[in-house]
Structure 1
Amino acid sequence: MTAKTRAHGSGSLQDPGIPSIGVGLDPPAPASPQSPQSPPAGYDPGFLTVPVPAPSLGPAIQDSAVRLDGSEVIPYTHFSLALSKPRRFAIWVAWNIDGGALKALTRKGIDFVTDPRLPAGDQVDNTLYQGTDNRLDRGHIARRADLCWGPLPEAEKANHDSFFYTNITPQMDDFNQSKRDGLWGRLEDAVFADVDVEDLKVSVFGGPVFQDDDREFRGVRIPRAFWKIIVFSEQGTLKAKAFLLAQSLVLPESLELDEFRVFQVKVDEIEKQAHVRFPTVMTDADTFVVPRSLGPRRPLESLEGIDWS
């Protein structure tokens, strides 16, 4: 899921060749993500056959979001997010993927930048990631490749918007290189490969899980779990599939990483852990059945283990 210049994204869950799709294009000339542009439309709740509104904040964090023009929802091209003022990372990110209109665009020449529309003090910048012995990488929550679709100027703008630090969370340098074969960064590709997705359109929601005991590094508390929900329509039926990635970081001395685990979970489990509320249409579309077991929840061993039904 991550690398120093490219990346995609609590604790135990005892309680509770994939082909890429895309159209190759000659790479466009790089442009500044801060160049004047029309206001971004952001996440589109009407993107699928059934409207799927963006999440809302739970009671525990309702007043914690950074506001832009009075709104907790901050729009970008093809995605929107809510930003935590105390944690300085996104609480949630919502994005749309048009699998039939994806463009293969280069990331060359695009820098990670803070969003000039928001107070600099409310965003984590490159200070967290500097240093040759620093194993933290900049990981996209909304994958760059997911956002590069539509007419070329629009796809280019989405490409650049993905590099705002508001869409970035810190992850270990080998975050997606474990024996789990990089499942986390391939979930979106897997749904297109394994499911007859209507109109090749998918909406995705993701973010970190903030915990009170997250360890601090350079004055920043580092999330050690992440969540993702993929929503799509198959044969006229809306479906929502939720996943949680749990990792354990030891900070700040050695930055050791315990093996991370990817679990398929219920949407309402994500609500409880992330303190966000999803629309009823999403929770109703979640048909995953939690396995009955007295032991710990078993992680996914491969993409073939995902229940897309």
Structure 2
Amino acid sequence: MDILDLDVTPTKLGEPQIDDKVVKSGRTTGVTHGVVSRPFAIVSIDYDEPVGVREIECFEIGPDPKRPADGNEISLPGDSGSVWMFTSRSGKPTDVMAGLHFGGEGDGDPEDRALACLPQAVFDELKITLAPPDPESLEAVTGYDPGFLAVPIGTPQLNRSIKGDAVRLSGSEVVPYTHFSLALSTSRRFAFWVAWNIDGGTLKKLDRKGIGFVKDPRLPAAAQVSNELYKGRNNRLDRGHIARRADVVWGSLPEAKKANRDSFFYTNITPQMDDFNQSGRNGIWGHLEDAVFEDVRVDDLKVSVFGGPIFHEDDRVFRGVKLPREFWKVLVFSEDGKLKCKAFLLTQNLDVSEALELDEFRVFQVKLSEIQTRTHPGSLRDRDWSGSRVT
């Protein structure tokens, strides 16, 4: 959140007065110091057609003679949008915002100067604030967005035979979280499917420090497998995310932080052997998406993903829990305007009493119809998820 090279974050809006000392970090001029020469001015700027001439209320900044800028320029094209911050007597930036840089002297003007919008006017016009919202005060979670891509892609639909096994939240079998949704099996206590959106253009780098795995308090505790399955020093089972944590931490910072926490609900977790779940062990399931998109040009860096375990009657039982040995994942994206889909199956030898080698895991790229056949509970089809055609 800090301003580049100034190492401060604006927390307050100030009112510039004559002779106030200010500093900015501009894209072109770098860090430059200035002195407010006129606290209020109206300037006319010609933005060419179709905008034309506009009058802008602003304040004027001149160079600080005690801290001259490189090249004696405090404003050059490319600096627009820089934040001018008030400085202390020692010249260090404070956390008080003086204004928003937008221009400089005109052609032929021998006097170096900078022009900045008055901060309160900008914030009033845009209806914004410097105070980040409390994550708990964000609007209701909407979950997976079927309209995320250019063509609507809905969530998988459960077959009638197992609809009654789905845990319901407010009457719906679809349970929403931040940027993902899922359907949870009451009998198996794992998700039938998880659907999530990835906005690669707004991904945030957040760590998981201080975030623990927890049951979703909105759902029956008995329908969720929690830490009792994973306890023990020699237990090789990992708590594996279905919707990857790194995939869902995008959007505004409060939104990304909420998605980060939501990804740790046990409803999004399945038991996976450590060798393929942990990225530090070069786990193939964790690296699958990275490998898929190495040579793919994804339009708008947006992807919708579906995944989950495949339930078998003869799945191995460990500590009273049937452990899924197969997982599926479907990636849907647009490349050069064409909707595409890639489907994968992974099988794992879940013998928790034996040491496993990486070559005991297998990942297969398959047709979408193969996923439909093997999952059975969900109607994942190669046509008409929601009226769309994917290839």
8 Å Cα contact 1:249-1:256 kept in structure 2: no
State the secondary structure of the residue aligned to 2:195.
Answer: strand
2:343 corresponds to which of 234, 239, 242: 242
Q: CA deviation at 1:208?
A: 0.3
Mean Cα displacement is larger for which, 52-61 or 154-163?
Answer: 52-61
The 1:177/1:155 distance shift into structure 2, 3 A limit, reads: closer
1:185 corresponds to which of 286, 292, 306: 286
1:53 to 2:158 alignment: no
2:379 corresponds to which of 257, 262, 277: 277
State the secondary structure of the residue aligned to 1:213.
Answer: coil
Mean Cα displacement is larger for which, 128-137 or 113-122?
Answer: 128-137
The 1:154/1:100 distance shift into structure 2, 3 A limit, reads: same
Structure 1 residues 257-272: aligned runs within 5 Å: 257=356, 259-272=360-373
1:201 to 2:302 alignment: yes
1:136 to 2:237 alignment: yes
8 Å Cα contact 2:276-2:286 kept in structure 1: no
Cα distance between partner residues in 2 of 1:81 and 1:255: 32
State the secondary structure of the residue aligned to 1:85.
Answer: coil
Question: In structure 2, what is the equivalent of residue 103 of structure 1?
Answer: 204
Supply the AA of the counterpart residue of 1:278.
Answer: L
Question: Unaligned regions of 5+ residues in structure 2, if any?
Answer: 1-133
Supply the AA of the counterpart residue of 2:390.
Answer: A
Supply the AA of the counterpart residue of 1:245.
Answer: L
Cα distance between partner residues in 2 of 1:182 and 1:124: 23
State the secondary structure of the residue aligned to 1:233.
Answer: strand
8 Å Cα contact 2:241-2:269 kept in structure 1: yes
Q: CA deviation at 1:182?
A: 3.2
Question: In structure 2, what is the equivalent of residue 297 of structure 1?
Answer: none
Question: In structure 1, what is the equivalent of residue 177 of structure 2?
Answer: 76
Deviations 1:68-114 (CA, angstroms, capped at 9, x unpaired): 00000000000000000000000100000001110000101100000
What is the TM-score normalised by the length of structure 2?
A: 0.61
State the secondary structure of the residue aligned to 1:46.
Answer: coil
Question: In structure 1, what is the equivalent of residue 9 of structure 2?
Answer: none
Q: CA deviation at 1:63?
A: 1.6
Question: In structure 2, what is the equivalent of residue 21 of structure 1?
Answer: none
Percent identical: 67
- The number of aligned residues is 251
- Higher relative strand content: 2
8 Å Cα contact 1:77-1:157 kept in structure 2: yes
Deviations 1:30-67 (CA, angstroms, capped at 9, x unpaired): xx99x675421100000001000010112332221100
Question: In structure 1, what is the equivalent of residue 332 of structure 2?
Answer: 231
8 Å Cα contact 1:135-1:255 kept in structure 2: no
Supply the AA of the counterpart residue of 1:69.
Answer: S
The 1:89/1:36 distance shift into structure 2, 3 A limit, reads: farther
8 Å Cα contact 1:128-1:218 kept in structure 2: yes
Cα distance between partner residues in 2 of 1:172 and 1:224: 10
Supply the AA of the counterpart residue of 2:348.
Answer: Q
8 Å Cα contact 2:276-2:282 kept in structure 1: no
Q: CA deviation at 1:196?
A: 1.0
State the secondary structure of the residue aligned to 1:263.
Answer: strand
1:162 to 2:263 alignment: yes
Question: In structure 2, what is the equivalent of residue 146 of structure 1?
Answer: 247
Q: CA deviation at 1:174?
A: 1.5
Between structure 1 and structure 2, the one with the greater Rg is 2
Cα distance between partner residues in 1 of 2:370 and 2:362: 16
Cα distance between partner residues in 2 of 1:60 and 1:104: 41
Cα distance between partner residues in 2 of 1:176 and 1:163: 15
8 Å Cα contact 2:271-2:323 kept in structure 1: yes
